[in-house]
Structures are given as structure tokens and as C-alpha cells.
Structure 1
Amino acid sequence: MMDAPPDVIRRPPSPRLARLISSISFYRERGIGLAAFRHAAPLTLPLLVNLGTPFRIALGHQPDTADARPSFAAGLFPGPVVIESDGRAECVQVDFTPLGAYRFFGGAVPDLTARIVDLDDILGPLGRDLRARVAEAAGWQRRFEIVEDFVLRRAVYEPSPEVAFALETLWRGAGAVRIADIASEIGWSRKHLTRRFHHEIGAPPKTLAQMLRFHRACVLARTDGAGGWAAIAADAGYADQAHLARDFRMFSGETPTGWAARLDVVDSRLMRDGGG
């Protein structure tokens, strides 16, 4: 039997989980694995139940055999996440929204920041039970149901209204919002907002704002790169093109032109005007 592309089944969350997770997916390889696949500063927090060969995943560098990851949870990481597999990976993955992660993990969210943590270490016996039930289930539909029920039962922590407001404001403005202005509107000091935000989201508001601005620039490059990187930098709220180039190196590990070439964003104005 010849190797084939992986099976990927992704669906939006059911209405009862709409504010907790952004998606739930089933992934199964059929001989073709991943080679240095990159996620640049992901804005979701994954929980992965492994059913096949563990992925090799590293934060900010090329993975090796020591980076084999079975079932795990991970937090926000302001940099590139590099993933490899051997063609036999299989898993169910939940992608939490930042507030959904707090509702599920509670005060453990900061413990996940810039880390990949074994599911048993973060959930204890409940993690082992979840892995066993998912592995024994017949078909991806039943596996989705098991995982969704598990998430819903555990999502008992309530984020503070102030942090929820701050997050929504940053998200709506794609990061181009002054943290001091948000703090003033809430009635908190900037220092207090930063401390509470980090506790509930896993990163300071300034870091999340930078990540959101970077992703805004990525969207603009994919959809409207006609003006080149200088125009994208201005539209995304960067001080200048050099500032955008620094963030690309930080969050993707690549120059803007290198990122565009890897993703086949081939507008000639982007390829000759990379600022890095």
C-alpha cells in the first residue's frame, strides 16, 4: 500500500463549547509524516491525546528524539513551534481559546506557558482515564464526544471580567491598543493588570498584543500584499518595517521574505522587500 496524505477531520466546537475551544480535530498519518512543520506563535493552547507514534515537538528549535511528546497540553509560546513525525502519528487535539484554557486549567495556566507538559502531569489520574477512553472508543465521532464531555465537565473556573475585557479589547484591536489605556478603562494600574492577565492568560498583555499584531501582519501578507512589507507594517500598527522584521524573526524564526517563501506567499513585492 502506497503512502498517502494524512486524514484530517476538523470541526468547530459544538455550541456548548463555543467560548472554550476554537476547534477539535482528529489527525491520522498514513505513511507521510511532518518534516520541520512550523506554527508561528500560536494563539491557541492545545491539549493533545496521542493514539499513535508521538510527535517530536520543540519550542524555538529543531526537534530531536528527546523531544518526543506523547499526550500533552501546552501554553502560549511567543516563538516558532517546530513539529516532526514519522508517518504513524494519530491523535485527537483540542485547541483552547486563551480564556477557555483558563476555564479548563484554572491557575495552572501559567505553568503551561512556553512549556509542553505531559497530560498526566497536568491532569493526574483524569488524564490517564481520558487517554484510555479515547483510545478504546470506536471512530472519530465518538472520540470527539468523549473529549468534549470531558472538557465541559472540567471547565469550572471563571476568569475575572476585567481580564476578559482586556483580552477582548486586545483581540478586537489586533494588538494595536495601548495597555495603559485598557488598564485605565478598567480602573486598574498597568502593573496590576499585567499581573492578573499573566495569571489567567499565561502571558503579559504586551506579549499577547505583539503576537496579535504579528498575526495581523501575516493575514495582510496573505490577502493584500500589494503594497509590500512597508505597507503591511503600517496597516498592522508597527512603527516601521524594521520593527515588523524583528517580530517576524522572533515569532516565526524567519525573515519576512523567508516566511513568505515557505508559505508560497509569492507576490513579487513581498519577496524583494523583506526588511531582513
Structure 2
Amino acid sequence: MPVEMQHHDQLDRSVAGRFEMVRRAPGFQLEGAVTDICGYRETTPGRFRNVEFASLTVPLVISFAEPFAIGLGKNPGDNDRFGSFAAGLYAGPVVIESFGGACCVQVNFTPLGARRFFGLPMSELTDRMVGLDDVLGLEGTALRERLGNARDWSARFAIVETFVATRLAEARETQAEIAWAYDRIIVSGGRIRVSSLADRLGWSRKHLLGKFSNAIGVGPKTLSRIVRFNRALGLSRQDRCGWADIAADCGYADQAHLVREFRDLAGETPTTLAAQA
């Protein structure tokens, strides 16, 4: 399958030439709602395994080949097969396996972008993979067919960008208070207190939790945990300070607290992840 390197698409190939991955940064119409769009195709039979850690990405995967095996917090079983689907936030590691015949387009949404695009409570996607037909109906079926018939990655990206941009343009904006609270958590590195957010908004913590679950898929406390974890993981990969310093900088009670969070959100200890990196 030819890959056209247009519009600043970035092509990555595995060392053994077993797969190709093409990435495109979102156009201005998708900014703030989509982080990137990926095309993935396996070129050699085999078994691929990848573990993704808790993140703020809400993926939409549109497959036109073999399904993936996916396990939330565990190795996937025989019944854990998913083709085209959307997945909400999950506060834990996700184990993904494929078998040499996968080919798909993946759109990576921000949580607030996903709420606008799908037009449904994000709690319906939390800790789940939901089939394309269930989240997009007949529009999703038609989109998958068009992408499967497209001549190359560049054409597929153009189709999916137009589709996403059209839905976003027709969607209602996220409630300003939730967008503000979400931004405060991100900017603070997950260190702002939930009670402080509720007080600033004049809401009860229960009301804030309900609004957050609808718009984001998880409550502000869980979101803060994921933000702190990813900040700590990023600092560890800069190799400039020890774990005790990282724990203090990211707002953990102590190093033991950081270790527990890494086990919950990545399935590994900090030192194991550092060695893998």
C-alpha cells in the first residue's frame, strides 16, 4: 500500500519492517479536540504486544482488517476482540495485542473534544470499548467503508478530518465551568484540590463530580491522578532527578505513594518503567 508523505505526515516503521505507522497533526478545525490522527498497518505475520498507560486520550479506532485483542488491566482473553470502536478514559494499563493483519485509522481525541464529537455522556465510554456502530450509527458504518476503499493514507486522513470537523462544527460547546475546571487541573499538574475547584465554582463536590463524569468520563480526583502520573513519568524520562524529588514535585505524599500510583496506572513500578525506557 503506498504511503504519500503530504501535509507533514510522519511515517514510522518498525526496525524489522513489521508494521508502518503514519501520523498527522490535526488541522486548525480540530485543534483542542484532536491531538493527532494515525494510520497503522502490519506488514508481516506475527504477534505484537503493547501496553499503554493511563492517559487523557480518548481513541476512535476504525479498522478495515483483523481486530485487536485488548485487556483493561489484564492480558486479553479469547473473547476480548475489538475491531472498530471508541474507548473512554481508563485509570490503569491497557494491554493491546495484534496478530500481523491489523490495519486501521485512529483518531485521538482530548476528553472535552470527545464529548463534543460523540455527543453522549462520556461516562458511557469509561473503562469500556464501545463498537463504532453503537457510538456513530450508520454514519460510522459509511465512514468505515469509505476509509477502507480509499487509495492511501493521505486520502484516508482527508476523509476522516472532514468527518470529524463537520461533527465538531455542529456540536454544542462544553459547559464553560467544566472546561475551566479541566484546564485548572491540567495547568496545576493535578495538584489543585477538588474542594478548591468546587468552591470557586460555587458547586458542591457531588455536583462537580456528576458534571465531570458526564463531560470527561471520570471525576476530578481520578483525572488529577492521571495528570500527576503522566507528569511524573515525563520527569523520570528526563533523567535529571531521583524518585523522591519527582514524588515531591508532583504532589505525592511520599515516594511510596508514587510507587503505588505507578502500579495502579501503569501496572509497573517506577524503576521497571525507567529500565524499559
Q: Percent identity?
A: 48
Paired residues in the alignment total 261
Of 254-263 and 74-83, deviating more is: 254-263
**Structure 1 position 34, deviation (Å):** 5.5
Whole-angstrom distance in 2 between the partners of 1:47 and 1:34: 22
Instruction: Choose between structure 1 and 2: higher helix proportion.
Output: 1
Structure 1 runs of 4+ off > 4 angstroms?
none
1:15 aligns with 2:28: yes
Whole-angstrom distance in 2 between the partners of 1:181 and 1:120: 40
Alignment of 1:188-227 (within 5 A): 188-224=203-239, 226-227=240-241
SS of residue paired to 1:171: helix
Superposed CA deviations along residues 217-246 of structure 1, whole A, max 9, x for unmatched, are 10010013x432111111111110011011
**Two-structure CA RMSD over aligned residues (Å):** 1.5
**Structure 1 position 54, deviation (Å):** 1.1
Partner in structure 2 of residue 257 of structure 1: 271
Whole-angstrom distance in 2 between the partners of 1:211 and 1:19: 19
Superposed CA deviations along residues 162-200 of structure 1, whole A, max 9, x for unmatched, are 000000010111101111111222222222111101111
Please, which runs of 5 or more residues in structure 1 have no aligned partner?
A: 264-276
2:120 aligned partner, one-letter code: G
SS of residue paired to 2:91: coil
SS of residue paired to 2:18: strand
Please, which runs of 5 or more residues in structure 2 have no aligned partner?
A: 1-15
Partner in structure 2 of residue 248 of structure 1: 262
2:160 counterpart (147, 153, 156): 147
1:101 counterpart (86, 101, 114): 114
TM-score by length of 2: 0.90
- Contact 1:106 1:200 (C-alpha < 8 Å) held by counterparts: no
Of 144-153 and 183-192, deviating more is: 183-192
Partner in structure 2 of residue 236 of structure 1: 250
- Contact 1:33 1:87 (C-alpha < 8 Å) held by counterparts: yes
1:75 aligns with 2:88: yes
SS of residue paired to 1:7: strand
- Contact 2:244 2:255 (C-alpha < 8 Å) held by counterparts: yes
